[in-house]
Structures are given as structure tokens and as C-alpha cells.
Chain A
Amino acid sequence: MKTKLLPLVLGLVISSQSALTFAQEKITGLQIIENVYSRPTGTDSQGDLTMSLINAQGDQRVREIKQFIKDFGDSEKKIMFFVSPADVRNTSFMNWSYDEEDKDDDQWIYLPALKKTKRISSDSKSDYFMGSDFTYDDLGDRHPSDDTHKLLREETVDDEACYVVESIPKDEEYMYSRTVTWILKDKWIGLKKEFYDEDGELLKTLTVKKYEKISGYWTILHSEMLNVQKNHSTKMELTNLKIDSGISNDTFTERIMKRGL
């Protein structure tokens, strides 16, 4: 089952009892991250995503998106429809990402004003997602084996016990030189994460503001990414979330993209 290192958009987390029983007395950084990564999630989810972008001047832009995600085993498919602002209503975006190594995602966009679906290529996991402060990687596809992990310490954050794990990418060219994650011990979700740039300076901080148990899954509902160097931030808020509601496979097609909501 494909899972997320930081399940933000989806926020699907299961507080799996089995995962806890696997936890060793002396758990390593890698094990913690693997626990997070290999934690089972639901097969599909749908909900309303509100993405707010705030720049250094305090200007705010809000996008409302309806999204559907389904796991197909060796791939994950996602479709997003813009609800507002009005001038982009019914613009849709579809992404198929594959487990297979080195296989790039397939991405499409449908522009209703042009009445055409266009493919857009995804070059890099380091690209920022829709002008937000989240890269595609930050949203969740990074495999634990891409980094070297080290358990730094255990800490209590907001009265909850956390592991603090430092992850250093094996690829020296990677956009971050290291990240530090605070992971909730019993729920295996990242509560907070710091991203350091190539020069080792703090670039971004991610904070989880709200998480709930939905359909038996621990789910992150509100999170905020702040780029401390640019003083730009992005808030992601999920509402009306339904998990395992049985989304049809046919939802993830160009035909549905064009049809809209």
C-alpha cells in the first residue's frame, strides 16, 4: 500500500495498532520514518481543499479545489477541480504518479476557456506545487531510502510525545541540505518539520494546525508552510473529507476532467 511521508493534502493516517507493536524498544530514525511511510491508509479519499497563499506584503489569494484521490496499487491517481476564483472555475488538473522508479508523473490540465486538455510535464519533485510553498516532494512522495535518518531526541510538543528525526538527502544536489521532523509517537504523523536550504540555513517550517480521526484514520486537516526567507506562506485546509467512499476508477479520465463538477 502506498503511503505518504507527510500526508498533507490527503492527510490519511491510520493509527495502526500493528505498527505500534512493531516498534522496537530502541527505535532508529530510519524505522520511525519507515513507520510513517509504510503506514496503511485508505484506498481513496475526496474532499474540499482550500489553499491560501500569503505573500510578504500580507496579500492573500484563496483557491478552492474539490479533489479526488485513489490508490491503484502500483500508481496513485488524483484529480482536482477548481471551484474558485470564478475565472478559473472548472479548470481541472489530473496527476498519475507511479511507484516505478524513474518513471515521471503524467499530468494533464484542462482549460475550460480553451476547451482543451493539455499535458504538462513534471520535471522535478523540487518544483513548487501551484505557486504554493509546498514542493511536490513536500506533499508526499519521498521514499525513506532517499535520505539518511537519525533519531536526534524525544520531545513533547503540545503535550504529545514526539520523536525528532533528522533526514539528510543522499543526493547532494537535492534542494534541501537536511530536514528535521517531529513525529507523533503513537500516531506516526509529522506534526512539525523544518527544511534547511543548500547553505544549511532554515528555509521553511511546516506546522500541522489540526488533525482528526476520520473513518478510523488519523487525518491532518490544517497545515501551514512558511518560507521564512521569503516570508511567504501557504495554508492548506481540508473539509468535507470522506475516506474509502468508493470512488469509481472512471473518475480519473480526461473525459471527466472536461465534464467538470
Chain B
Amino acid sequence: MERLLNKLLKFPWLMLILILITSAGFFKIMKSNSRMETDLDEYMPQNHSAFVYSNQAEEWFNIKDGIIIAIENPDGIFNSGTIEKVKDLTKALQSMEQINKDDVTSLYTADNIIGTEDGMDVKPFFKRTPKTDEALEQLRINVLNNEMIFGRLVSADEKVTVIIAEIEDDVFSQEFYQQIVDLGKSFEGPEKIHVAGRPIVEGTMALLGPADMKRMVPIVIAVIILVLLLLLKSVKGTFFTMLVVLFSTVWAFGLMAAFGIPIYAVSTMIPVMLIAIGVADGIHLYSHLHLFLNENPDATQKQAVANMIQGMWKPVVMTSVTTAVGFISLLTSQVYPIKYFGLFTAFGVMMAMVFSLILIPAGIMAFGLPKWKKGAAEKASNKNSFAFTFSEKVIKYKYITIIATLIIVALSIAGIGKVWINSSFLDKFERDSDIVLTDQFINEHFGGTSTLNVILDSPEKDAFKNPEILNAIDKMQQDVDGSLQVVGNSFALTDYLKRMNKVMHADDEAYNIIPESRELVAQYLLLYEMSGDPENLWKVVDYNYQKANLTFQLKSDNSKTINSAIAAIERHIPELERNNVQLNYAGSGYKGLVFTDLILKGQISSLFLSLIIIVGLLSLMFKKFTIGLIGAVPIIITAVISFGVMGLLNIPLSTTTALLSSIAIGIGIDYAVHFLERYKIYALETGDKKSASQLTMQHSGRAIVFNAIVVIAGFLVLLFSVFPPNRALGALVSLNMFTSFLGTVTIMYLWLFVSNIYFNKNKKR
């Protein structure tokens, strides 16, 4: 390896040009072929049973996410101006090409099931906008008397009414959102128009996150460059270190584009990983070089590079291989974007290794050594003394170190118990953002902006004409609606039947129940089909009355809410199963929940898997099992503290925050390997435990501090992001860097020191 590197480095210019040309090639592919994937359904494993079922059910009942447009009039909505706007806005939405005409629901399109003197009628609430006070009052009475509409399309205080426009998953775009907002605006005054709903939240998030990243990443890089300049005290050193990161990112994305793999939201984490991990090699190389030149001020360029390669190629290769293996373990995930994330980050890490070993030495050969001033060298030796005392202090106060570590780990483990998973999209926005406020507003006035679909399935035809089953469903609806604050209301076939039973008995509230016989149910349904628009019926039941769709409206899309609703629903499963009815879930909220769960489980199991592999690899590399265990310490510390802090600070696990545990592996292993390798070299060189640790602390410890400072400084910039998940990302990356560093130079070093590893061996010899 060393010989190969030295051979290659005989042609530094050739190497530089080759890498540059290939990078340019990958850059071109990346520019022309990259495509952002924004349809969240594309992220989900399509053959997973929960998704298969949900997708089927969505087709059966035409379940789609709805944009909610609320029209608010503080003086009440029952005036001809506001009612006219309901009609006009409904028609305007229906005429939009992205929206199917039948998928718009409002007071204008809704069916009113009413009892007449001697029968029943199903008709629209209004066709022409009522102008007279009597007509408006009649409309108001019709709405107030219809529990299928009042509280669902018109708020209980009569000040707000909503229009719901359901859209396909792939329709949302920034332009479409703008069109809807503009449309709403054009109807304002005196009414206020609010726009909300899952498509808006989901779409805005998919656009806002990456857009914010695009804005922030250049600043992150600028800060990293600045700090690198300060620490390395070399323009060339900074330039080539950053080039390594840049090229490895370009190659990773270029290769992705070449294979036609789109950029998923999680892919935006690849540069984050590569920045945090990729600068490490450069810093360690230059740090080594700097120390070598301090000790041998008269060494030639060639000697310096040869020494650097000889001393550093091994740890650089070892760290990169172990890190890459850690990421490759993500291939066990069921989620394709995560697999790609793991694979291409691993590729990027390996390329960063190649560039560090070729680009950096080639750069030195071609452009000369960094010009370190003598003062800088002196400063470096000042730091050395700090490194020396630090290494002594850690040993001297080892009980403090151990106890402090134990306390922190214990606290973290307590925190881990509190970690909760959140698949919510809404929770990712600022609490005072428009999107959150509108959502709150609609939740206050209506059942809820989020939905959970419960799909009931029976092997028998006409099962949902059976009053026993219908009563079980009604009982479930009332129990779940009534017992949970977060469940606003529910809607099912039962609501149609109860309404019809009531109006057919002269609006007698006593008949607001499920009809008593199967025949009466069937005859009401036939009557409904004859009088109304049967299309609406097929949103709650299928053609053969074998499958039913029950919709719960929830006040929030977060996992706690969905899970509490599911828990309440599941209490009714035994009764349904007695009637041979199976219960399943559908809808985007539920899919989001399952998906997040899937990612997290995969992430956590791959974390354990990679930990085992890494311990094995380290044991092999250092030919000692104990070293494998010692080397795992920074990873474990970092991961445990990371999850612990999330638990203690109530930061929920989401797809982004979960992926961050990968950084624990990437960074933790780098620090450990560099430190262990140096310690081994110095141990064999000096034969003295104390000076070996002091020299290691001076060499690796210094580079590790530099690395941590650079990345922390860079990622702290993200704390100023306008998008909360990106802020959490910045904070957690910084935290992970810090704990990795601290764990390496304290507890890991301590264990290494007391284990006497390389010294026992010497004594035996």
C-alpha cells in the first residue's frame, strides 16, 4: 500500500489532473441527471404489507389527502356574501386542472338528507346563493339540524366554514401551493381565508427543508474553512482538506446520478456526513506533518511526505474502512432511500480516503509544503505541554473521569427511556409559523386536520348491512370520539344510516340510531341511492358491502396522537372479530407512522450490527480483542449520549435525527482508530506508558480537537436555520462531535492506559 502510494506520488501533477478530470465528469453527470424525489410515497417500501393494504384501501374508497380552505367571517357565515364566496371558491377549485371536480367538498357540494312532510329527500343545501333573510335563515337551520354537516363543514360557532379539495399525492408543487394561496387571497375581505391540510404541510416541508439547507450549507462550509485556516494555519492545507470533502461529495452524488437514483430527502444528509467525517483525514495528515516539521525543521518536501504517508496511511485506511462498513450496514434497512444513503455515504467515505492519501500528498509535492511560521510551531509546542498535562490529569483524576462518565451514561440511559418517535410533519415547523397557526385555528373549530382511516373487511357479502356489526362500529366511533380529546369526530356508513333513520321518523332524536333490521338498512340504502348521489356512499363502503371505511379526524398528526387513537380503536377489535370483521388502517398519516417506525427499527438494528462488525474489524486490525472493545467506547458513548439528550430535551426521533446516530459511528471510530494507532506506535517506540500517552495526546489528541472544533463551529451555524429540523441537526452533529472527542481523550484513553495493553506484551518479551 505504502509502495503503491509512493509510486503514484512520483507523478503528483498527473494524479491531480486525473482526479480533477474525473470529478469534473461526475459533476457534469450530477448536474444533468440529478432529480429530487418529493413524492413521499416513493420512499416507502411498496411491498411491505401495511403499505400494500393501505394503498389498496386508498383505491377502494378514493382516500386522498385534502387541502383545507377555511372561510372565516367573525359576523357569522350565513350571509349572502360569504355563502356566495363558498360557491365561487368551490367552483374555482373544481375548475383547477390539478383537482378532480368530484374531489371538492363544501357546503355547496354537500348533500343534505332531510325529512319532508311525508318522506325523505336528499338535495344540495343551495344551488343559487340565497339572498333573502328567510332563505338564509332556512339554510342556517338546515345546516344546524344536520349533524353530518354541522361541526364538519360549518363550525359550531357558525363563524367558519371549510372547503376540502382532495388531491393526488404527486400533484403538489410550489406553483400549485402559490396558486391556492393566491386564489384564497382573492376571496379575502371581510372574510379571512386560511389554507391548511396535510398536502400543504407535506409539500411545504419537502420544499422548505432542502431550500434552507441550500442556503445554510455554504455558510457552514465557509465557517469550516475559516476555522480550518485558523487551526491549520495553512491556506494550502485548508484548500486540499476541503477539496477532499468536496470531491468525495461530488463523486458520491455523481455516481448516484449515473445510476439514475434520485435524490431523496435523506440524501441531503450525505454531504453532512462527508463534511463531518471527511475533514478528519486531512486534519490528521496535516497535523502529523506539522509535528514532523516541528521536530525536523530541515526535512525536505519528499522526506516530509514520505514520513506522513508512512505514519498515517494505516490509520487513514483503517478509519475509512470501518466507517464505510458502518454505513454499509444500513443496507439491512427495508427502506430504499436509507439503503442508498448508507451505500453512497460509504462510497464517499472511501473516496475521501483515496483523495486524502493521494490528493493531499500530491498537493504538497506539486505546490510545496505549507509555510508554517516559526511562531506557529512554538505555539504548537505550547499546546503540546497542555496535551501533556491533560493526559496526566486524566490519569490522576481517573476516578472523577470514571464517575463522571458513569453518571453521564446513567443519565443518558434514563433519557433514552423517554425518547419517542414522531412521524409528524407539522411538528417540524416553528410554533408561530403560519402553517402551524392555521392548523391550530382549524383544529379549534373543526374535528381535526389529520385523518386516520380504519378499514373494516369481512369475507361475507352484505356484512355491513348487518345491524349487529353496524352497532359495533357505532359503539367504537362513540367510544373513540368521546374518550379522546385528540379525536375530533368520525365519519362512516353508520352516520348515513342514523341520519336517514332519524329523518324518516320525523326528525325524532330517539331514532338517531342504527336501524333495527338488515332489511331496513338495505332499504334505506336503496332509498339513498334513489334520492341522492350514491358516489358519496362509495367513500364509506364498497359495492358489495364487504368493506367499510371509517374516518377519524385527529387534532394532530404526531405519533402520540395517532397511537392513542389506535389504542382506543383496538379495544373494539374483539367485538368486530366475533362478527368475522377484520380491522386494518390506511391513509397517509398511518403510513407515515409505520414508515418512521420502520426506519428507526432498521436504524437501531443496523447501529448494533455495525458496532459488532466494527469491534470485530478493530480486533483484527490491532490483533487484540480488548482493543476492539476499547475502540468501541467512543461510538457507544456518543450514541448513548445522543439518544439520551434527545430523550431529556424531548426531541423526538424522526428520520433525520435517527440517521444522526450514523455519525456516532463515523466520527467515533475515526477518533478511536487514530488514537489507538498512535498509542501503539509510541508505546513500541518509547516503551514508556506515560510518554506514550503524552505523545499520543499531543499527536492524535490535537488532531481530534481540531477536527471537533472545525465541525462543531461549522454545524453550529445551522442553529440559525429557519427550519427547526435543520436546527436540531446542527445541534446534534455538534453534540456528537463533542462527545466523541471527549469520550476518546478521557474514558477511552483511560481504559487504554490502565489495560497496559502494549506494555504487558513488551514486558513478556
Contacts and interface: CB of A to CB of B under 8 A. Distances in A.
Contact of B527 (A55, A57, A111, A112): A111
Given A114-B523, A120-B119, A130-B529, A87 B534 contact: no
Given A61-B543, A130-B529, A118 B119 contact: yes
A91 B523 contact: yes
Contacts of A130: 526, 529-530
A93 interface: yes
A121 B121 contact: yes
B118 interface: yes
B462 interface: yes
A88 B542 contact: no
Nearest to B528: A131
7 contacts: A82-B526, A108-B119, A111-B524, A111-B527, A121-B116, A130-B526, A131-B529
Interface stretch (B207-215, B514-522, B657-665): B514-522
Nearest to B119: A118
A128 interface: yes
A59 B527 CA distance: 21
Contacts of A59: 542-544
Interface of B: 60, 116-121, 123, 462, 465, 504, 515, 517-524, 526-527, 529-531, 533-534, 538, 542-544
A61 to B, nearest CB: 6
A118 B115 CA distance: 10
Q: Give the contact-size bracket for chain A.
A: 20 to 34
Residue from A82, A85, A87, A93 whose CB has the most chain B CB atoms within 10 Å: A87
A116 B501 CA distance: 13
A109 interface: yes
B534 A128 contact: yes
Contact of B119 (A109, A112, A128): A109
The 3 closest A-B pairs by CB, nearest first: A118-B119, A87-B522, A113-B520
Interface string A75-94: 00000001001011001010
A171 interface: no
Contacts of A153: none
A129 B515 CA distance: 24
A116 B116 CA distance: 14
A99 B518 CA distance: 39
B543 A113 contact: no
A119 B118 contact: yes
A123 B526 contact: no
Interface in A95-121: 108-109, 111-114, 116, 118-121
Contacts of A55: 538, 543
B469 to A, nearest CB: 14
B523 A112 contact: yes
Contact of B519 (A87, A109, A116, A129): A87
B465 A120 contact: no
Contact of A120 (B462, B518, B522, B527): B527
A4 B543 CA distance: 31
Contacts of B527: 109, 111, 118, 120
A57 B60 contact: yes
B542 A87 contact: no
Contacts of A114: 504, 520, 523
Interface string A41-84: 00000000000010101011100000000000000000000100
Nearest to A129: B530
A120 B503 CA distance: 12
A111 B406 CA distance: 77
A121 B124 CA distance: 13
A257 to B, nearest CB: 13
**Is the contact region of chain A dominated by helix, strand, or loop, or is it mixed?**
mixed
A187 to B, nearest CB: 32
Given A55-B543, A87-B518, A131-B529, A119 B116 contact: yes
B526 A91 contact: yes
B57 to A, nearest CB: 12
Given A87-B465, A114-B504, A131-B534, A119 B119 contact: yes
A88 B120 contact: no
Contact of A123 (B117, B123, B543): B123
B121 A88 contact: no
A200 to B, nearest CB: 14
A120 B531 contact: yes
A183 B286 CA distance: 91
Contact of A118 (B118, B520, B538): B118
B543 A57 contact: yes
Residue from B117, B123, B462, B543 whose CB has the most chain A CB atoms within 10 Å: B543
Nearest to B534: A131
A229 B637 CA distance: 61
A91 B524 CA distance: 10
A109 B118 CA distance: 11
Nearest to A89: B519
A55 B59 CA distance: 12
B119 A87 contact: no
A118 B530 CA distance: 12
Contact of B520 (A57, A109, A111): A111
A108 to B, nearest CB: 8
B51 to A, nearest CB: 19
B155 to A, nearest CB: 28
Contacts of B504: 114, 116, 118
A3 B530 CA distance: 24
B124 to A, nearest CB: 9
Nearest to B538: A55
A250 B116 CA distance: 26
A87 B523 CA distance: 7
B94 to A, nearest CB: 11
A119 B115 CA distance: 10
A60 B544 CA distance: 8
Contacts of B518: 87
Residue from B60, B116, B523 whose CB has the most chain A CB atoms within 10 Å: B523
A196 to B, nearest CB: 15
B677 to A, nearest CB: 65
A113 B504 CA distance: 12
Interface string A139-150: 000000000000
Nearest to A119: B119
B536 to A, nearest CB: 11
A53 B535 CA distance: 13
